[in-house]
């Protein structure tokens, strides 16, 4: 494969269409299989049927905060989406705090918001983002940036020094906030929420024709064009691949929070065809559940990363209903480190998951209605965001799912 570090051109056509096209093309070129048989096995499995409606409604975007204005909430959601990464640090985060990456970022956001409400400066503003320190971030996340290392000259003596994986994560967070704050200030925007609301209004004004993706395309182009932390894309085998996970998540987060209002405070785009927000959870789960088949993949080493994933007995077990022994204690299990991938391997898997979800929804929509029982007809109406949320949330919902390995990639701000 070619290096994903090469300069990647922005899409020259519909951003949504290019996300779907490039991910599908990469999946095909790397010989990753997603069969209709495997999709139907999932759709009609006791696990999917019994949990989908319950689990797919969990999105983690309800906050016990009293926002003083709509713009304040939009800004909170926007910065949360900007920082929605760190999955590769899940295990060390659990060891130190008992929380995974998403909950750690949520805790950080609570801290940033509450600190900004005390009159000590708005850390969620463009100016405040530029001033935040690594130690402030560590304190708000309740992580220790120091590790013990042997003294170079005194045998048997250890000293505390800055370092370790969580120090690396905090540096990524600080750099992302500082860079984004500087760009916002250069643009004349007081915060990221202002940029997003303006983009929503401009996207609505720019809509034309019957293209359902026009609004999402316009917002994506503004977010990705302005901020490097949203440019989730790479060159693989001399071809671009686009995922834009965080930018897509931000757009859908706005829909979740404001789409339920009878009169939204600003125009909302049509997200009926929005791609899934592909990270490390979705592809790992789809491999374990037997939908994404890596056994014939030509991508270097991918066919061996989950050695038990093709085991029919394991797949059958995972597709059974939630075990009766399931308790809330499953939430307390400490995760184990999954296979560590390089950047191009991660993009291949993430592209495969995005394409697989497109195919799952397509298969569901084209099921023969006459072949469905009355209590199965709802399967035909599942949406891509619902499927995304189900895969993401069900991974935490069962003790046996929580023990499934997820691939890891560190030193990235994209997932």
Confidence of residue 119 (pLDDT cuts 50, 70, 90): low
**pLDDT tens, residue by residue, 337-381:** 899 999 999 999 999 999 999 999 999 999 999 999 999 999 999
What's the rounded Cα separation, in Å, for the pair 363 and 398? 26
pLDDT range class, residue 189, cuts 50, 70, 90: very high
Answer left, alpha or beta for residue 151, where phi above 0 means left and psi between -120 and 50 means alpha: beta
Length of the chain: 415
Angle (CA) 253 259 260, round 5°: 115
Identify the weakest region by mean pLDDT among 172-176, 329-333, 402-406: 329-333
pLDDT at 329: 46
Per residue in 262-314, pLDDT (tens digit) is 899 999 999 989 999 999 999 999 999 999 999 999 877 899 999 888 789 99
**pTM for this model (two decimals):** 0.92
The contacts of residue 4 (CB under 8 Å, 6+ apart) are: 234, 235, 236, 343, 344, 347
Residue 58 reports pLDDT greater than 90:
no
- Say whether 289 sits in a helix, a strand or coil: coil
Q: Distance of CA 175 to CAs 131, 137, 375, Å?
A: 11, 11, 50
pLDDT top residue among 121 and 391 = 391
Percent of the chain's residues with pLDDT above 90: 78
Neighbour count for residue 269 (Cβ, 10 Å): 24
What is the tens place of the pLDDT at every residue in 383-395? 999 999 999 999 9
Element spanning 257, H or E? helix 245-258
Whole-number pLDDT of residue 325: 55
Q: Which distant-in-sequence residues (6+ apart) come within 8 Å of 62 by Cβ?
A: none
pLDDT of residue 208 exceeding 80? no
């Amino acid at each position: 494969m070619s290096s994903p570090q090469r300069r990647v051109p922005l899409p020259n056509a519909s951003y949504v269409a290019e996300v779907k096209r490039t991910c599908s093309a990469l999946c095909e070129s790397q010989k990753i299989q997603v069969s209709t048989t495997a999709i139907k096995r999932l759709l009609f499995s006791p696990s999917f049927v019994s949990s989908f409606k319950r689990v797919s409604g969990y999105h983690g975007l309800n906050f016990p905060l009293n926002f003083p204005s709509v713009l304040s909430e939009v800004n909170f959601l926007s910065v949360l989406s900007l920082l929605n990464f760190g999955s590769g640090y899940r295990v060390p985060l659990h060891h130190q705090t008992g929380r995974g990456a998403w909950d750690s970022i949520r805790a950080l956001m609570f801290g940033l918001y509450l600190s900004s409400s005390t009159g000590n400066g708005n850390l969620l503003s463009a100016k405040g983002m530029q001033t935040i320190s690594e130690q402030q971030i560590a304190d708000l996340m309740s992580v220790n940036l120091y590790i013990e290392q042997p003294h170079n000259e005194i045998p048997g003596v250890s000293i505390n020094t800055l370092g370790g994986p969580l120090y690396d994560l905090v540096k990524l967070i600080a750099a992302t906030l500082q860079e984004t704050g500087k760009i916002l200030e250069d643009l004349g925007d007081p915060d990221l929420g202002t940029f997003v609301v303006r983009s929503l209004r401009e996207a609505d004004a720019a809509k034309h024709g019957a293209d359902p993706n026009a609004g999402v395309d316009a917002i994506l182009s503004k977010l990705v064009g302005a901020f490097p932390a949203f440019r989730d894309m790479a060159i693989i085998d001399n071809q671009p691949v686009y995922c834009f996970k965080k930018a897509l998540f931000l757009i859908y987060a706005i829909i979740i929070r404001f789409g339920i209002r009878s009169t939204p405070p600003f125009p909302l785009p049509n997200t009926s065809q929005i791609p899934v927000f592909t990270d490390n959870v979705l592809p790992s789960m789809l491999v374990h559940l037997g939908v994404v088949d890596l056994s014939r993949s030509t991508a270097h080493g991918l066919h061996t990363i989950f050695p038990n994933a093709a085991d029919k007995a394991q797949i059958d077990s995972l597709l059974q209903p939630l075990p009766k022994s399931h308790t809330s204690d499953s939430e307390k299990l400490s995760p184990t480190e999954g296979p560590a991938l390089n950047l191009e391997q991660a993009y291949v898997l993430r592209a495969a998951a995005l394409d697989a979800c497109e195919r799952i929804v397509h298969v569901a929509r084209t099921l023969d209605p006459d072949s469905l029982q009355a209590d199965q007809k709802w399967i035909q109406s599942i949406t891509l965001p619902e499927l995304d949320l189900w895969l993401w949330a069900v991974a935490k919902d069962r003790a046996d799912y929580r023990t499934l390995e997820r691939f890891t990639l560190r030193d990235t701000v994209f997932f």
